[in-house]
A and B are shown apart, each in its own frame.
Chain A
Amino acid sequence: MQPDLTFSEQVRDQSGQNVQRCYYCQRCSAGCPVASLMDYAPAQLLRMIQLGQKEAVLHSSAIWLCVGCETCGTRCPNGIRTGVVIDSLRQMATAEGVAPAVPSVFKLHRAFLDSIRLWGRVHELSMLAQYKLTSLALFSDLDLGLDMFLKGKIHPLPRRIRGVAEVRKLFALK
C-alpha cells in the first residue's frame, strides 16, 4: 500500500503526541484490556502511523474498540499517550468520512452527542432509543433496561437545561 509520508506529522499535530518516539517495546499492547479483540494492537497502530499507513489505520477496528482507559499512556516509557492518538484517529476518520469499522460504536457516540445537543444533558431512554433504531440492536439488553426502569433508575422524560443554546454553539466550534 502506498504510504502517506505526512501521516505521522498529521497525527502528531492533531494529537500533540510524538509518535516517532515509539521504539516498539509493546508495553501499551501488553496492558491494553481490549488488544486481543483489535485487528491491530496499540503498538502496531503506532508503527503503522510511523510507516504512513493512513488508509489501513483509519479503516481499522482498533481505533473504535479502544476504551480510552489510558493504561497505554501511563505505562509508555516515551511518554506517548496512545489513547489520545487514537482519539485523533477516530476524529480524522469521522472528518474524512471513513466508514467506521465498528459501526455500533460510532452510532452510540452519535446518539449520545445528539442527546446532549437536544437537552444539554444525556437522557438515557431517548438516547438508547435512537441508538437501537440506528444500529438495529432492537432487542439487546431489554431485560437489564426493564430492571433498571422498575428500580427508578431510568427517567421516562428528559429535562432541558436553560443554557442549551449556549451548548449548541459549542457544537459549531471548529
Chain B
Amino acid sequence: MRYGFYPGCTLHSTATEFGSSMEMTCAALGIELVEIPDWNCCGASSAHSLNHTLALALPTRDLVQAQQLGLTDIAIPCVACYARMVTADYTLRNDAAFRAEMETALGFTYEGRVRPRHLLDILANDFTSEELVGKVTRPLQGLRVVSYYGCLLVRPPELTGRWDDPEQPQTMDRLVELLGAEAVPWSYKVDCCGASLTLNRSDVVVHLVDRLVQAAHEAGANAIVNACPMCMANVDGRQRFRGSPGRPGPTYVPMPVFYITELLALAFGRPLDKVLGKHAIDPRPLLKGLDLI
C-alpha cells in the first residue's frame, strides 16, 4: 500500500525514535511511504498564535505538493502537524474565498482528493485485526500499558472526522491488546501535556506531566504509550523533573514511555535496542525484565 508522507520537523531529529520505529512498522506491514518532496514546516502552535493566514497557508503549500504526488491519503506521524493539516484541509474545502486566495498565491487548482490522516489512524484502521496479529512474532506479555492520546490527535472532532472518540478514544488500547500487552484503563487519555509551553514555562509542563504519570502509576501500568513527538518530549523528557523544586521527589519512580510504533515494531520482531536507547527514560530494563528484548 502506498501513502503520501509528511514527516514534519521533529521526525528525524527530536523524535528520531518515532521515525525509525515507524519505518520498521511500515516495512513489516508492506506500507510504502512517499515523502512530499520539498515540504515545509506546518507552522505548529506558533503560526496560529500570531498569524491567521500564515497558519493556514504553510500547511496548504504541503497539501498542494501532496496533490501533485497523485496519492490521496497522506500519513502524518506528528500530532501537531496533523492538526494543522486537517485545519488547512477543512478550510480549503469549506471556505471558497480562502481557497481562491491560496490558488492564486501558490499557483494551483484545488482538487479535493488529498486526505491528511494521522499515522495511527492508518495503522489501526487500514489493516484488519487478523492482519496485524498475523505479524506478531513477539507478543508483549507482561506490559501493562495506559494509552495516552493527548489533545489534538482526536480533537476537535469536526476536523479529525471522528475516526476515534474525542473523550474516550480506543484505537491505541485496541492495538496494544492485539500485540499481547494489557491495555490498562485510566482517566487521563486526552488530558493535555502542556505541549509548546515546554520551553518557556517548563514549570507548567512538569506539573501536568506529574499528574499524568501519577495517574498512570495509580492505574497499575508499567508503561505509557503515545503517538505524538510533543507528548513524548514532555512525558518522557520532563518526568525526571517531577517533585519540586525542579528535582525528582522521594516518590519518583520513572515510568517508561513508548511510541505506539515502537510497540508495533517490537511485537513484529524488529531490532529496537538502539532506538530505545535514545529515550530520556531508558525502557530497556523494563523490557529485559519481561524478557521482551
Contacts and interface: CB of A to CB of B under 8 A. Distances in A.
Interface of A: 14, 33-34, 37, 65, 67-71, 73-74, 81, 87-88, 90-91, 94, 102, 104-110, 112-113, 115-116, 120-122, 124, 128, 131, 135, 137, 140-141, 144, 147-148, 151-155, 161-164, 166-167, 169-171, 173-174
Contacts of B192: 33, 67, 69, 71
Nearest to B37: A162
Contacts of B222: none
Interface in B191-222: 191-192, 194-197, 199-202, 204, 208
B50 A68 contact: no
A85 to B, nearest CB: 12
A120 B41 contact: yes
Interface in B72-102: 101
Nearest to B57: A170
B43 A113 contact: yes
Interface string B123-152: 000000000000000000000000000111
A122 B200 contact: no
A6 B152 CA distance: 32
B9 A71 contact: no
B171 interface: no
Nearest to A123: B9
Contacts of B44: 112, 122
B13 A155 contact: yes
Contact of A69 (B39, B155, B167, B204): B155
Contacts of B111: none
B288 to A, nearest CB: 20
Given A71-B151, A71-B155, A113-B51, A154 B38 contact: no
A147 B191 CA distance: 27
A65 B61 CA distance: 29
B208 A173 contact: no
Interface string B173-188: 0000000000000000
A141 to B, nearest CB: 7
A68 B192 CA distance: 9
User: Which of B150, B191, B197 has the largest count of A CB atoms less than 10 A from its CB?
Assistant: B197
B54 interface: yes
Contacts of A147: 280
